[in-house]
Chains A and B, each alone.
Chain A
Amino acid sequence: MSPIVKKKGEKFTLPSKYLLFILALICAALMVVSFSTDALDKPVNTFAGFIVVPFQSGISSVGSYLHDRSEELAKIKELLDENAELKQQVDKLTEENTKLQEDKYELNNLRNLFKIDKLYDEYDKVGARIIARDSGNFYHTFIVDKGSADGIEVDMNVLADGGLVGRVSEVGRNWARVVSVVADNSNISGKILSTGDTLIVSGNLKTYETDGCVDFSQLIDADGLVNKGDKITTGDISDKFLPDILIGYVNDVKMDSNNLTKSGTITPAVDFAHLSEVLIILENKQTVDED
């Protein structure tokens, strides 16, 4: 007898293999739809905004409280030892400090020359708190507690510690998803600040977990002017990232096997492991419509 024939008086239930088949088809359809259009974004985002995000922000603050307390307890003993050591250092540092004061005076003069301190002042920014992180361990994405109600839009740039964190990839009413620079699927067009050479910065889970670095490639540097420690900022030709935002510092450079381009690794300017608040620039990069 066929498994879907209904017996008299028995409640109708779909056998699980058919259910599996139907749901698998739904999954495939979802994948195709979400890959090609963003028709699904709106209903899905509204659901998330009303049901999940309020809980997330609550639990997240409790979680960080517990974490902070447990860290405090563990650290008291460590801190006592450290304290004694630090007192010795204070004497040494006071001496050094006087010397540095002189250097600072010189630095200020140089800064005015380069106008570096005015770098990000021209953008309007809004602060946001991180309330959840990627549920798996493969990606470095996170959720912040500001959304379209606060004027956030997709592709806005996210900063912290004076460096680039990533960009907003999805927005709900009261939440936004940020894909960070170190995420394995992120690629950014960047440039070396000192020489202006362009390159591609791509997140890499493996190098990030082992050395705290991300990859860069496609650097054309025929004269060999790029050294370890050079600043890398976002490039002018990116259509998602505003220009001249610090990404990080060159960690190592090596020639590719084609003898034309160079690649290597970058230490990001942002400490992604201890990130809790970020700044979102309320300005999208101006792009030319191709239509």
Chain B
Amino acid sequence: MKKALLGAAFLLLFFLLQSTVFKYFAINNIGPNLLIIITCTFGFMYSDREGLIIGFFAGLLCDIFFGPILGINALIYMFIGFVNGKFNRLYYSEDFILPGSLFLSSNICYGLVYYILIFILRGRFQFTYYLMNIILPESIYTLVCSIVFYPLLLVCINALKRSEQRRP
């Protein structure tokens, strides 16, 4: 229950930051993707189950406000959360290499899939342009932001885990 509340609160917070504040601090019109951070983090810190649920709602939130059709972002984020959950076995909280590389690769995957589904199907074929100017810069910006936001999530989730272990 507490886990769900924490997830919902962070989801809302990250979505709001991403669509408002970070658009003012966009570099060359590119903003970071904070929702990838929360989806991945819930994936590898809990399990594939939590990852996919958080991913589903993160994507749905994007779709409701900005998506051309409902459900497409939800689907992509959900699979990202699910795959990240599979890395739970390799994860331990002192390490930043694994989370960092997961943020980077997840965001690149998100960009690629979104590009294929929405852009290639409408005949926008200049793949290298989109890769070099949108997908990669966005992923790197996300990685930089994760240096601040990932420890925040880490502290909150670990505190919650400890309080749940103590009780029974």
- Which residues of A approach B to under 8 Å, CB–CB? 13, 16, 19-20, 23-24, 26-31, 33-35, 40, 44, 47-48, 51-52, 55-56, 59-60, 62-64, 66-67, 131-139, 141, 143, 177, 184-185, 204-206, 209-210, 273
Contacts and interface: CB of A to CB of B under 8 A. Distances in A.
Interface of chain B: mostly helix, strand, loop or mixed: helix
Contacts of A141: 66
Interface in B44-83: 47-49, 52-53, 56, 61-66, 68-75, 78-79, 82
Interface stretch (B18-26, B93-101, B143-151, B153-161): B18-26
A261 B65 CA distance: 37
Contacts, number: 141
A27 B65 contact: no
Given A63-B21, A131-B20, A16 B48 contact: yes
Most A CB within 10 A of own CB, among B29, B66, B68, B118: B66
8 contacts: A16-B52, A31-B71, A31-B75, A63-B23, A63-B24, A132-B16, A138-B134, A210-B133
Nearest to B19: A132
Given A59-B21, A66-B21, A52 B134 contact: no
Given A137-B138, A205-B119, 20 more contacts: A16-B47, A16-B49, A23-B74, A31-B75, A34-B70, A34-B71, A44-B64, A52-B16, A59-B16, A62-B21, A63-B21, A66-B21, A66-B24, A132-B16, A135-B31, A135-B35, A136-B66, A143-B19, A177-B65, A184-B119
A19 B52 contact: yes
Interface residues of B, number: 52
A205 B133 CA distance: 11
B74 A48 contact: no
Interface in B118-147: 118-119, 122, 124, 126, 129-130, 133-134, 138
A24 B70 contact: no
A184 B124 contact: yes
B85 interface: yes
Contacts of A55: 12, 16
B114 interface: yes
A64 B119 CA distance: 31
B33 interface: yes
A30 B16 contact: no
A73 to B, nearest CB: 14
B23 A133 contact: yes
A64 B48 CA distance: 37
A51 B65 CA distance: 12
